[in-house]
């Protein structure tokens, strides 16, 4: 497939960074934002990119982005979300943390906490927190997914069901406009469902780009969580769902301490 040099470079940047923004590209290539918007529209028409507010991402479809690329998407926002979510969890609590780059940001923010019991199916979280003596880290058994270090499958589900914890920190791949929480791997979905069912307080962490993506497997619904922590919520429909179901909505971009 032939691509003009600027289009090819935009695609490579999107693969490297996870997303590209109109203003950044206009500055990089020394062209107008209108020119970049036309470039992005052309690439989207060819299904090489998908538009998001202010830019574009590699299209999700039925396949997830590479884990390292996902970590680069909204990295600053995820850090603020992690800090805001960690602030909700007191010392001496028990909690689940599932797989995801945003839940990993929460685990990073929890390193300043006192004693915690952490049950996780995320090898990356377990490896980060195990070296701190104030944490008791319990890791699920099961199939290790090579793409991201997530532990999935029926063995992981059965393991999670043995616990009843104070908090659950869960991430998702996408949030539909009707409040459906979505993921790509049905095995991970079953683990997430078990986590939701066995926590007293469920904290959903997801940046605003998750509202612009889609995924094929349903985890549950936004009404099943107690707190939704995001960077900003541009969707009036999601705000209504939170209000109607008494889900606390926390926007970290509006919180100077989290930022």
pLDDT tens, residue order, the chain (259 aa)? 578 889 989 988 887 777 789 999 999 999 999 999 999 999 988 888 888 888 888 765 434 445 555 555 667 899 999 999 999 999 999 999 998 889 999 999 999 999 999 999 999 999 999 999 999 999 998 888 877 788 888 999 999 999 999 999 999 999 999 999 999 888 889 999 999 999 999 999 999 989 988 889 999 999 999 999 999 999 999 999 999 999 999 999 866 554 4
pTM equals 0.74
Residues 185, 93, 84: CA angle, nearest 5 degrees: 65
| 98 C-beta neighbours (distance < 10 Å), count | 29
* Domains in the chain, CATH or no CATH each: 5-59 (1.10.10.10), 69-254 (3.40.50.1360)
Can you tell me the distance from the alpha carbon of 25 to that of 238, in angstroms, rounded to the nearest whole number? 30
- The whole-number pLDDT of residue 47 equals 80
Residue with tokens 């319990």: 138
- The whole-number pLDDT of residue 64 equals 46
Residue with tokens 């990073």: 108
- The whole-number pLDDT of residue 33 equals 93
- The whole-number pLDDT of residue 66 equals 53
- The whole-number pLDDT of residue 259 equals 46
- The whole-number pLDDT of residue 168 equals 98
Please list the helix, strand and coil fractions of the chain in percent, rounded to the nearest 5, in that order.
Answer: 40, 25, 35
Instruction: Find out whether 235 and 211 touch, Cβ atoms under 8 Å.
Output: yes
Can you tell me the distance from the alpha carbon of 73 to that of 75, in angstroms, rounded to the nearest whole number? 5
Can you tell me the distance from the alpha carbon of 140 to that of 239, in angstroms, rounded to the nearest whole number? 34
Q: What is the pLDDT of residues 239-257, one digit of tens each?
A: 999 999 999 999 998 665 5
Q: What is the pLDDT of residues 3-34, one digit of tens each?
A: 888 998 998 888 777 778 999 999 999 999 99
The count of C-alpha atoms lying within 13 angstroms of the C-alpha of 244, restricted to the half-sphere facing its C-beta, is 11
| 43 C-beta neighbours (distance < 10 Å), count | 22
Question: Strand 165-170 to strand 93-97: parallel, antiparallel, or no bridges (unpaired)?
Answer: parallel
């Amino acid at each position: 497939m032939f691509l003009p040099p600027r289009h090819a470079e935009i695609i490579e940047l999107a693969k490297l960074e996870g997303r590209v923004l109109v203003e950044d590209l206009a500055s990089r290539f020394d062209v107008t934002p209108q020119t970049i918007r036309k470039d992005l529209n052309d690439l989207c028409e060819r299904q090489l990119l998908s538009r998001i507010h202010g830019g574009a991402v590699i299209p999700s479809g039925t396949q997830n982005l590479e884990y390292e690329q996902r970590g680069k998407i909204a990295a600053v926002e995820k850090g603020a979300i992690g800090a805001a979510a960690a602030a909700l969890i007191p010392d001496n609590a028990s909690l689940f943390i599932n797989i995801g780059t945003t839940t990993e940001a929460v685990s990073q923010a929890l390193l300043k906490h006192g004693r915690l019991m952490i049950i996780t199916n995320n090898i990356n979280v377990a490896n980060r927190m195990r070296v701190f003596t104030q944490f008791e880290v319990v890791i699920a058994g099961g199939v290790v997914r090579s793409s991201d270090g997530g532990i999935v499958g029926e063995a992981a589900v059965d393991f999670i069901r043995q616990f009843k914890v104070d908090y659950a920190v869960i991430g998702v791949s996408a949030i539909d406009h009707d409040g459906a929480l979505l993921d790509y791997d049905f095995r991970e979905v079953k683990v997430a469902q078990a986590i939701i069912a066995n926590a007293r307080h469920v904290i959903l962490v997801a940046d605003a780009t998750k509202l612009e993506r889609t995924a094929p497997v349903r985890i549950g619904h936004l009404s099943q969580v107690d707190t939704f922590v995001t960077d900003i919520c541009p969707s009036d429909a999601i705000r209504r769902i939170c209000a109607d179901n008494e889900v606390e909505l926390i926007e970290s971009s509006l919180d100077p301490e989290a930022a």
